[in-house]
Amino acid sequence: MADAECPECASPIAIAANTEVGEILSCPDCGTRLEVRALTPPKLEKAPGVEEDWGE
């Protein structure tokens, strides 16, 4: 498990070993939805907002 930093509030976020690039995480401190952009080293970016045509 590695740590990354929330790009919004700078809190440390634990990245589990089975995390995938493209996965969405929530910052436990500020609640921002974050997309995993890289794993080595871990890099998080604010997740894209839901678009009008998204959904089932």
Which residues sit at the interface with other proteins, rule CB under 8 A?
20-24, 35-36, 47-48, 50-56
**Residue 38, exposed/middle/buried by CB under 10 A (0-12, 13-18, 19+)?**
exposed
Is residue 1 within 8 Å of 14, Cβ to Cβ?
yes
| Shortest reach from residue 43's CB to other proteins, in Å | 15
| Shortest reach from residue 47's CB to other proteins, in Å | 7
Cβ closest to other proteins, residue 17 vs residue 50: 50
The three-state secondary structure class of 5 is: strand
| Shortest reach from residue 45's CB to other proteins, in Å | 12
